Structure 1
């Protein structure tokens, strides 16, 4: 498959992890020192998913797409292949962020599925593993520091 993924165990309840994952993306969804700015999120299948990644030197990377699935408490799926007004764009990936209960905590898994092998390879060369592992670590740190 043309998939890249990262996973980590988070020592916090699934409800906590979901809340941070779904509602506080500006705190974890971009590797520091970059930050994620939420522009618009219509949290439902077909809803707009628009963010901007901002770098420490003024860099901007707009992220525009739609949600393919919003399975409350379990999974978020989005793509950049279609914009919020259902206009096709140059597809790069489908992003999948999932959680599931594991022991006394939560298993977090993030995946990027690509249309073409060359896109998967490009994403890997761009630092997918390091970047997405950094985001997972940021999510983990927030959830575990606030766990009951």
Structure 2
């Protein structure tokens, strides 16, 4: 796992996951509620309309019961290879306080996957705020939780 800035106003994590891109993508899209929040946080609500312009709603819940909803839209979906989304818009392209654009890629690396999450911010202040919120630790933890689920699936389910 590496964690480093990659471009202006961008934070990034990457991890090699010992599962096919198809398996990692399927766990990302179908089991997001099981890995999205760093434990002991949970994700009690996930609504994903996986198409450009489709809505994404994810609610994380803290151990004290506080819900933290994030709504946005998908900008690009390339099954088994790439997911791009932003919280700059709510459903129907309604502008809201922008925080980030996320570009997730699933690249074949031998029999494994190079999972990369690039998070782009509008300015330096927003990037620094995300870092202070624990970006590197939190996104690395959830990439590990994603890997644990994907690597635990039998290879035959990767089709």
Q: TM-score range by the shorter chain?
A: over 0.9
Residue of structure 2 equivalent to 1:48: 55
Instruction: Quote how far apart the aligned CAs of 1:39 are.
Output: 4.1
| Counterpart-to-counterpart distance in 1, 2:118 and 2:152 | 25
Residue aligned with 2:65, SS:
coil
Q: 5+ residue gaps in structure 1?
A: none
Residue of structure 2 equivalent to 1:129: 136
Q: Which runs of 4+ in 1 moved over 2 A?
A: 37-40
RMSD, aligned α-carbons:
1.0
Q: Map residues 1-148 of structure 1 onto 2, 5 A cutoff.
A: 1-148=8-155
Aligned length: 148
1:83-113 CA distance string (max 9 Å, x none): 0121100100001111010022110001110
Instruction: Quote how far apart the aligned CAs of 1:38 are.
Output: 3.3
| Counterpart-to-counterpart distance in 1, 2:127 and 2:30 | 28
Higher relative contact order (CA 8 A, sep 6+): 1
Residue aligned with 2:94, SS:
coil
Q: Aligned in 2, Cα 1:39/1:29: closer, same or farther, shift over 3 Å?
A: closer
Q: 5+ residue gaps in structure 2?
A: 1-7
